[in-house]
Structure formats: structure tokens, C-alpha cells
Structure 1
Amino acid sequence: MPGPLRAPDRLAFLLALVPYLQDHDTVTVTQVAAHFDVTPERVRDAVTLIAVSGVPGATSQYQHGDLFDIQWDEFELHDRIVLTHLVGIDDSPRFSAREAAALIAGLQYLSALPENADRAAIASLMAKLTRAASAPPTQLLAENSGSADALALIAAAVRADVQVEFDYLNGEGVHEHRFVDPLRMESVDRDWYLRGWCHLRAAVRTFRLDRISQLGVTDRPRSAQTGARLPDRLFEPSAHDLTVLMELPRAALPLLADYLPELVSDTVADQAGGDRCRVRLRLASFHGLKRLVAGLPGIVTVIEPAEARAIVAAWAASGAAHYEADV
């Protein structure tokens, strides 16, 4: 049986009760008492007090719109609490409709990922954001991650303590069949990566999920190498990497952060008056270099080696030729 509340506890109870009632359109006295571990009588007294509380208006006198209000018939006849008017809380800063819509879209994306099992909590948070916005948020539907099925399979393999197998398109454009002990899933922007012990290479490797096909869970137990130490960085340099010198605006340097650029030198200001710099990158292959240049069109310039310049120029010319053929 809950005991009497001290004065500080009564105040804390009242301060917590109003947001709780705001989050529940209709709730019984018994439910509130069970939630806060107090007696139903304490709840009825608190609700009665709230209903005659408020914030005085400009005249420093309490008018009808300055007080909390409830549906008294529901409260007195059916022991149900329904707030019909709030004060004070409505004056606090709120998310705009656009801000709430952006947050809700992000939560929709997170709820689609398999590791977020408590989708009820996410749904509850989205409902609170909707109610607390200054205006009804725009109805948005975030596109489900295309990697959701792969993430679910890998999570199942980790729980079963077994290997996964798949066909992988490596940086040189070659398909290889791999057996991997999954160790960790990581994301960079919109891309997901599987990190694990590769039995083909006998080492820890990183795999992009969008290059994986025919993914399956095997009955092979994960090896003792499962406890191998993962490198701190997602991308580690290799002795077989291609080293490329590039030039780009200094302001664009953060765009290459994932490639661990080594600053070589500053150059003169460009025609637009901005500073340019040269950096050295390590890439797995020329295929990866073409993907990098395509992702930063007009921003990066390949300086050397000459073979890299020639390959990128030929690739760009080939692409342009397709457009000319369509004209």
C-alpha cells in the first residue's frame, strides 16, 4: 500500500502528472495510480487541484482560458481523466511542423532496421512528436533501407554464431565467393558495411552491402578468429593500394575524409578566388577511383599517376559518347 507523500514528492508527482495526462488522451484513475504507485484517492485529489490551476492572463486575474480543464462528467461518473485545455505547457517552445516531419522521417528509417527491435517505443516517440509540434507535420514516408533484408540475415547469423556466405564484387570488378564470420555492421552516410573475418583472405575485411549478392546463412560455426581485433578505422590502407594525387578546393577537403587524405601542398587561388590544395589518397583500385570522381563531378582533378589520369579521361569520354549518340 503506497504511503503518504512528502511535500517535495507531492510537487514532483504533480509536475510529472500533467505531461503524462497530455500523452494519454483518455486514462483511468486506476491506471494513473498504478503508473505512479500512489493511491487512487491521491490521483483524484491531484486532478482536482490541476483543474483549478493555471497561469493568470494579462489582467493578472484568472479567466476561464487561463485554467486547466477536464471533462468533469467522465471524471466524476466514470473515473476517467480527459484533459480538454492546457495552459503554460502550450507556451513552451515547440518543433515546427517541418522540424517534426524531419524527425519523424528519421525515426521511420530507424524503425526499418532490424537491430531496432523496440519499434513500439519508436512509434510512441513519433506520436509524441506529432502531438507536440506547433502544427500538424507533413505526412512523410521514409523509404525502407534496401539493405534491410541483408541486415536481418547477418543479425540472424550472429545470434546463431555461424558464418555467412555470399558472392562479392570486389574493387576490381571481379565476383568472388566468400565465407565470413560476421563481427560488426557499420554505416557511413547511406552505405552499410559488413566487417568480419574472411576465410578466403584469412584476415579481417570490410564489405559493402550493395556489392553483396546471394547472401545466405550457413551451418558452419564461426571460427576462433571471431575474436580477432577489429581495426579502429573502417577503411585501413593496404600494401596493394593505388596511390593517387588529386587537386581540389580546400573547402571540399572534408568530402574525402573517409579516404584518409594526406595533404601534400597548397596551390594558388582558383579563378573563383578560393584556395586549392593537393592531397594524396590510397584507393583499392582504378574502379574505386572512377566511383570517387563520379561522386564529386567538377570538384576533384586527378594529377598523377599518368595511368590514373588516362583511365579516368577514357572513362569520362566513354560516358560522354553515350550522350552524343542519343542526340
Structure 2
Amino acid sequence: MADRRHRAPSRSVPPPQARDKLAFLLALVPWLLEHDRVTVQEAAAHFGVSDDEIRSSVSLVALSGIPGSTSTYQHEDLFDIDWEAFEQDDEIAITQHVAIDDAPRLSAREAAALIAGLQYLQALPENADSAALKTLVGKLSRGASSEPSQLAVAGGADDALLQLVGRAVAEGHRVRFGYLNSRGELEQRDVDPLRVESIDADWYLRGWCHLRQALRTFRFDRMSDLVVTGSPIEHDASEVRLPDSLFEPSEEDLVVTIEAAPEVIGLLADYIPDGALTSEVGDRIRTTLRVSHYHGLKRLIAGMPGTVRVIAPEQARRAVAEWAAAGRARYA
């Protein structure tokens, strides 16, 4: 066995707990199999642990396995390593492994679905050039039971606008655009863009509105003729508190009375203002919502068919009814 007295001392690392040790081994073994033969120092640098921790873990792996039909451990039931390389050259090479190939693997369809989701995430401004997402896509492609279908996430109508707004957020430049407010009036807005967020297929810009002198949320499909100005923003995310909830009440909000099945009330929590009067009407719950415009209300109600009914005002009832009628007419 090689004399290790001349090796550089390992970094001082607190001993891991049993659960952490198991999680580490579950990550270490597939990595070693993927890299064929690596040094102890390379593995330690990759996982951010001490050299001695890697040596201890590899020794433990070599004592692990699954008992065979005799309920005792035979040589082929255990992991094994190239001990000569490990003890003399500090190299790790797994020469025998068990159970790893028997682990459940994603089907080609499951992997393709996950890859599509990752491609969507890669399109978001905050994930541009994310090495972690690219690596994960590669692992999913290689780790499926068969080759996943080749697919791509199609761009939406908001993609060009998303790129412009994302650039403005990254560069800290003010944007100017026309905005259709809740009353259907087109207003010119100058906004310091702070964050881009999405709910399902809808995109929103959160920023400081110079017209209202307050934080506002703007929906992409109500914005028009957006330009990125050369003016730097006056309010940034460090001085403007962005609430956790995407929708914050404002004086411009529209109040709508609805009746909903009890099981969907929780899904409407973001729209129900604090102190809203709530009562039972038969098997339904009557309460009020605050929405920025009726277009958003239409989409909200359409997403809960048969469980939510608009009671008042009449303009809201009419907007939702016309939306539903237009949708039904397309199937005629």
C-alpha cells in the first residue's frame, strides 16, 4: 500500500450525518460510473469535499451490494474497484457494480416531456445560457430507456416582446409603451422594469410606473409599441419591495361578486381581498374578487368551468358570457 504521508493535508470538513452520507453516495456512484477513471482529488474538487471523505466513501461503496439468491453476499453481489490503482495512485475506477442498471428509468415519452419543460425554462430571460439546464437536458437524453423524440418548444406571440423587456431588465433601462387599462383606455406608460414573471401562458412585467408613481404589474398582451429607452432606471429592485404576490390591490381594481364551489375558493385566494365579505348560498360560497380588468376575469372564470359564476356587476357578467359564447361559436 502506498505511503500517504507526503500527500497534502485535506481540507477540514465537518463529518456528514448518516442521511447526508447516503445522499452523497447516491450522487457519487453514478458520477464515478459516468467518468470511468478519475483521481481522488478530481472527485473531491467536483463535490466540494475533502480527499479523505472521497477515500472513505469509495471504500464504503466497495462494501456495498445486494445479496444474491443464497441471501449471502458473493463476489458478484458487491461493488468492486481497481484496488491497486486506488491504493497506489489515488485513482478511482469501479470494476464491478450491481443494481444500478436495474433502477427504473424514464420512458422516451417521459424524458421528452421533461426536456420540453426545460427548453421552456431556458427561454426565460433569467435562465439564458444556464449551464445547469443544458447539462440536465443532456442527462435526460442519455438516461431514458430509449432515445427521446426530437422536439422543440414553439415560440409564442410574446417572444419578441419578452426579449425586449428581458434586455431592458438586464441593462437597467427604462421602457415606454402603450397600455390598455382596465377601462379600455390606451395610456402611454414610462416604466422602470424590475422583473418579468409568468402565470401559465400569460406574461407580466413588474416595474415602477412613472405615470402612477407606484409599483405596477403590466400584462404583455395589453402592451403595444414598446421601446427600450436609453434612460437608466430611477428605481431598482434593491429599493422597491416586490411583494411575493404578483397581484397587489390598487385603487384602479375592479370589484366583482362571484359564487364558487368550496373546493376552488383556495385557487382564487390571490384575487380575494383581505376582509372580503363571504357567505354561503346553497352549496356555493359567495365572495368578491379584485381584478385589474375584465379580460383577466374572463380567462380566470374560463379556467374553472362549472365551478364559478359571476353575479355582479352586469358588465362583468356580460364580458364573461360573451367570451364563452365566442368560444362555443368556434366549435359550431
TM-score, normalised with respect to structure 2: 0.69
Contact 1:264 1:279 in 2 (8 A): yes
Instruction: Answer yes or no: is 1:235 the counterpart of 2:247.
Output: yes
Q: Residues of 2 paired with 1:114 and 1:128: CA distance? A: 23
Corresponding residue of 2:286: 278
Aligned pairs for 1:55-74 (under 5 A) are 55-63=66-74, 65-68=76-79
Q: Residues of 1 paired with 2:95 and 2:277: CA distance? A: 63
Tell me: CA distance 1:86–1:315, structure 2 relative to 1, closer, same or farther (3 Å). closer
Corresponding residue of 1:255: 267
Q: Residues of 2 paired with 1:312 and 1:2: CA distance? A: 72
The alpha-carbon deviation at position 110 of structure 1 amounts to 2.0
Contact 2:141 2:148 in 1 (8 A): no
Q: Residues of 1 paired with 2:58 and 2:235: CA distance? A: 61
Tell me: CA distance 1:244–1:203, structure 2 relative to 1, closer, same or farther (3 Å). same
One-letter amino acid matched to 1:2: A
Aligned pairs for 1:209-228 (under 5 A) are 209-224=220-235, 227-228=239-240
Aligned pairs for 1:262-301 (under 5 A) are 262=276, 264-268=278-282, 275-301=283-309
Corresponding residue of 1:36: 44
TM-score, normalised with respect to structure 1: 0.70
One-letter amino acid matched to 1:164: V
Contact 1:264 1:278 in 2 (8 A): yes
Corresponding residue of 2:125: 114
One-letter amino acid matched to 2:260: L
Instruction: Answer yes or no: is 1:143 the counterpart of 2:153.
Output: yes
Q: Residues of 2 paired with 1:244 and 1:145: CA distance? A: 34
Tell me: CA distance 1:59–1:249, structure 2 relative to 1, closer, same or farther (3 Å). same
One-letter amino acid matched to 2:193: P
The alpha-carbon deviation at position 88 of structure 1 amounts to 5.0
Contact 1:55 1:87 in 2 (8 A): yes
Q: Residues of 2 paired with 1:213 and 1:102: CA distance? A: 33
Contact 2:177 2:188 in 1 (8 A): yes
One-letter amino acid matched to 1:121: A
Of residues 117-126 and 49-58 in structure 1, the stretch that sits farther from structure 2 once superposed is: 49-58
Tell me: CA distance 1:125–1:34, structure 2 relative to 1, closer, same or farther (3 Å). same
Aligned pairs for 1:15-30 (under 5 A) are 19-20=27-28, 22-23=30-31, 25-30=34-39
Tell me: CA distance 1:208–1:95, structure 2 relative to 1, closer, same or farther (3 Å). farther
The alpha-carbon deviation at position 190 of structure 1 amounts to 3.5
Corresponding residue of 1:2: 8
Q: Residues of 2 paired with 1:265 and 1:17: CA distance? A: 55
Q: Residues of 2 paired with 1:46 and 1:182: CA distance? A: 49
| Count of residue correspondences | 310
Unpaired segments of 5 or more residues in structure 2? 1-6
One-letter amino acid matched to 1:220: S
One-letter amino acid matched to 2:227: G
Aligned-residue Cα RMSD (Å) equals: 4.7
Corresponding residue of 1:192: 203
Q: Residues of 1 paired with 2:248 and 2:203: CA distance? A: 16
Q: Residues of 1 paired with 2:317 and 2:99: CA distance? A: 65
One-letter amino acid matched to 2:117: G
Corresponding residue of 1:180: 191
Contact 2:254 2:290 in 1 (8 A): yes
Which of the numbers 317, 321, 329 marks the counterpart of 1:309? 317
One-letter amino acid matched to 1:160: E
Contact 1:27 1:80 in 2 (8 A): no
**1:203-222, Cα deviation, whole Å (9 max, x unpaired):** 22101223334433211121
Tell me: CA distance 1:137–1:301, structure 2 relative to 1, closer, same or farther (3 Å). farther
Q: Residues of 2 paired with 1:207 and 1:121: CA distance? A: 30
The alpha-carbon deviation at position 248 of structure 1 amounts to 2.3
